[in-house]
Structure 1
């Protein structure tokens, strides 16, 4: 029964059960090589889920992550086509992603606009900027250098570099959230903003930092996405922000802020990754993925509400004591 009360254990069990059911009909699905491919396919979602988790912890939401990814990915592709060295491209997308996140954070912190309104607006603006930069044209594989495309796909100790980048991001931010004052501030701001102020925490600045981290990770993912799939265009990763939010909510990150764990967010992303990769195997149209993600969000919110609902007090028993 303890497993049913622990979100991470329950998610891990759900992932294992799902893979077991699929393996009954398609044993090749659980071969190590295929599982490594599933993990690698889910790597962008895991990276973005880490950033989104920090934002949600502070009672905000970032709906612009996929558009940030698309814009930074396009900039990376254009810089590569102009002959800019790869290290400079990587530094640029990290800085640019962080700057785009900072725009969101500043509008929320200094202007007081709700995060959902700000990020809905910047989501559209970012994709509009891509169109203005390219006039709607694509950057295709033949316009990218071999080194630019090869880095995320290079195999290191049995896994592509993109998978190792995801592992590195997870470990780094697990330390940030669990071992630093800033990480504890994310939880404090989301859990009780008023108490956080009395504790000397600047709520607006903390939310700003969460958006900077989210934007920086979106910028990193922008390069990884474009380099791996060898294409950049206006609508790249369209709708991917839903999957990112779904991964967090399924992983037990409280949409009201202040509660959750990075491991829950990662397991939520892996759950969606397994489902996404399993759909073609079992003959279900990939177009159902959006419906499944939306349903999973609703079920997860219901589950979270049921778990967090305070138990009623037995007044008569207390009166008799």
Structure 2
């Protein structure tokens, strides 16, 4: 009598899939925070065009894009920083400091391009200070950048006091205000587009960008997998300082004034736009196209309300409500997702424990 080999047990394992790609393509593209922000942006544009007088004029477009350009620029590195679960609150103070440096050096007779490059290098140095304190010393970025916010702003105000430098070469101030020929789009949108493409490629299509998401999700696991967490964060703070320095030079030439209090409070507008654009304050999630839409949404909403005669206090309240809703909705969606995953796990557990039917 020959023994028969036992039949192999059926393979009940399920294939592991990377969660963001477990859904159909159309759902991943259309049903996310970024798509919702873009849809809201289009609705606001449509309503404002139909209801608000002069909103659709080329001059409104020009002034709107000029005003949001510094925020758009600074939001690029801020997105990467928040994705790693850090924050930089000193960006507006760096704008003010580099504005003052540009004004003082120009007043001293330096050619404006040299003064501008020096100011951007000062912004880079400010980013180096932030990055070193966070990565080398190990201090929390929130505490560090609150401190450097006051430090850089204090230096800026101390250098100029209550005075302002307004004597800049007309060629450079006109260049900052000029539009792309034949369009109402300011020329500053060209360097912004170049930077936006570069940041998007780095964040979404390179190993370095994927490592930033890994750091935000779990920095210890990222370090064990070979990511140099300290080096990556240091580089982001340096980039933030450099871009903020460039934004400071543009801000100075656009408004023709170098003052120590320039751009006061801009850091809040930047962070609000980044969070509204779908970047999680807890790190590990976000996309640049959502952030750009968030900046434009806040800018267009503010412009439309001002044209409609709404006061700046009410506009600030509305912006604050949008920010709170964006943070609350992100946390609520994460909680609902965890509940759903937990329910699915319990259901699978009960199915596996159930005895087979005869």
Instruction: State the TM-score, normalized to the length of structure 2.
Output: 0.84
SS of structure 1 residue aligned to 2:264: coil
Q: CA deviation at 1:36?
A: 4.0
How far apart in 1 are the matches of 2:155 and 2:347? 65
Residue number among 139, 142, 146 corresponding to 2:165 in the alignment: 139
SS of structure 1 residue aligned to 2:73: helix
Cα deviation per residue 1:108-149 (whole Å; 9 max; x = unaligned)?
111111111111111111111112212332112xx2111231
Asked whether 1:320 is paired with 2:346, we answer: no
For 1:115, the equivalent position in structure 2 comes to 141
| Alpha-carbon distance change, 97 to 239 in structure 1, aligned in 2, over 3 angstroms | same
For 2:74, the equivalent position in structure 1 comes to 48
For 1:6, the equivalent position in structure 2 comes to 32
How far apart in 2 are the matches of 1:289 and 1:26? 15
Asked whether 1:153 is paired with 2:138, we answer: no
Q: CA deviation at 1:38?
A: 2.0
How far apart in 2 are the matches of 1:160 and 1:281? 20
How far apart in 2 are the matches of 1:91 and 1:70? 15
Alignment check: 8 A CA contact 1:189 1:196 kept: yes
How far apart in 2 are the matches of 1:317 and 1:69? 54
Asked whether 1:83 is paired with 2:124, we answer: no
Asked whether 1:58 is paired with 2:84, we answer: yes
Alignment check: 8 A CA contact 2:102 2:258 kept: no
For structure 1, list consecutive stretches of 5 or more residues without a partner in the other structure: none
Cα deviation per residue 1:205-253 (whole Å; 9 max; x = unaligned)?
2111111111111000000101001112121111111100000100011
> Structure 1 residues 32-41 or 189-198, which shifts more?
32-41
| Alpha-carbon distance change, 316 to 192 in structure 1, aligned in 2, over 3 angstroms | closer
Larger Rg: 1 or 2?
2
For 1:18, the equivalent position in structure 2 comes to 44
Q: CA deviation at 1:26?
A: 2.5
For 1:208, the equivalent position in structure 2 comes to 234
Q: CA deviation at 1:179?
A: 3.1
Q: How many equivalent pairs are there?
A: 319
> Structure 1 residues 104-113 or 62-71, which shifts more?
104-113
Alignment check: 8 A CA contact 2:52 2:304 kept: no
How far apart in 1 are the matches of 2:351 and 2:170? 78
Asked whether 1:184 is paired with 2:214, we answer: no
Q: CA deviation at 1:165?
A: 2.2
Instruction: State the TM-score, normalized to the length of structure 1.
Output: 0.93
RMSD: 1.9
For 2:319, the equivalent position in structure 1 comes to 293
> Structure 1 residues 57-66 or 25-34, which shifts more?
25-34
Residue number among 231, 243, 251 corresponding to 2:277 in the alignment: 251
For 2:125, the equivalent position in structure 1 comes to 99
